[in-house]
Amino acid sequence: MPEAELSLRRCYWPTHIIRGALARVLWYHRLVIEGGELLPRHGPALLLPKHRAYRDIPVEGVVLYRYTRRYANYVMKVGLWGVLELLGGVKIVRPKDLRRLKDREARRAEIARARAANQRTVDYLSFLYRRGEIVVSHPEGQRYRDGMGPLQKEIIEHLLQVESELGCQIPMYPIGFEYESLWRPRARAVFRVGAPLYTGQFADLKDLIATLDERLRSLSGLA
């Protein structure tokens, strides 16, 4: 899709109102923030948080705004509410989201629709980086409460492509979550930001993924 046809989907006022409401709801936890000063105050960036629970996402938004006065754009599965796009959601179709259709032609048609939708998402993510926006993607692709899931490489492969087009490197920030309890009021919830990673620091994508996995485990108390 030509960049001239793209525009920011996130709307400021709904995002601002929801962020303010969630900041009060999150008093349920005793939030401890470590490394918040590392979060990017300007320019494009990719945040890569460990994903333990649905509440991770509002915590990410509240902490990011508290330290940087910025809002982010969140890669999310296609089945979530469309209204979340007004708050920064960016829908992606995962292989597991495709229905198990027995009819071969129907399945081919659904796969074609998913590929077209994902291409539009990729184009939009490229636009966001060019615009100097923050993208948040949970690299496990789903929630793993008590351990680390396998890291997905697609979001970083796309970042490499954008870096090649722009002729620059975009920082990646590993972020860990450690909940003392998800259900006990005022239990500690620790949000840890690691030092930024850059693709040029690594010999190849495999090395980068291995390092990211190690950082996320350490930041989330899983090492």
**Cα(103)–Cα(137) distance, rounded to whole angstroms?**
33
> What is the predicted pLDDT for the residue at 120?
93
* Mean pLDDT, residues 67-93: 88
> What is the predicted pLDDT for the residue at 11?
94
pLDDT in tens, 189-217: 999 999 999 999 999 999 999 999 999 99
* Mean pLDDT, residues 147-157: 96
* Mean pLDDT, residues 68-77: 95
DSSP code string of 12-77: HHHHHHHHHHHHHHGGGSEEEEESGGGS-SSS-EEEEE---STTHHHHHHHHHHHHHS--EEEEEE
pLDDT in tens, 7-62: 999 999 999 999 999 888 789 999 999 999 999 999 999 999 999 999 999 999 99
**Cα(223)–Cα(205) distance, rounded to whole angstroms?**
21
Alpha carbon of residue 80 to chain centroid: 15
100 vs 184 pLDDT, higher one: 184
Residue 83 has pLDDT above 90, yes or no: no
Residue 82 has pLDDT above 70, yes or no: no
- Say what the pTM is: 0.93
pLDDT in tens, 88-137: 999 998 877 777 767 778 888 888 888 898 899 999 999 999 999 999 99
> What is the predicted pLDDT for the residue at 110?
83
Residue 162 near residue 126 (C-beta atoms within 8 A): yes
> What is the predicted pLDDT for the residue at 206?
97
Domains of the chain, first to last: 3-219 (3.40.1130.10)
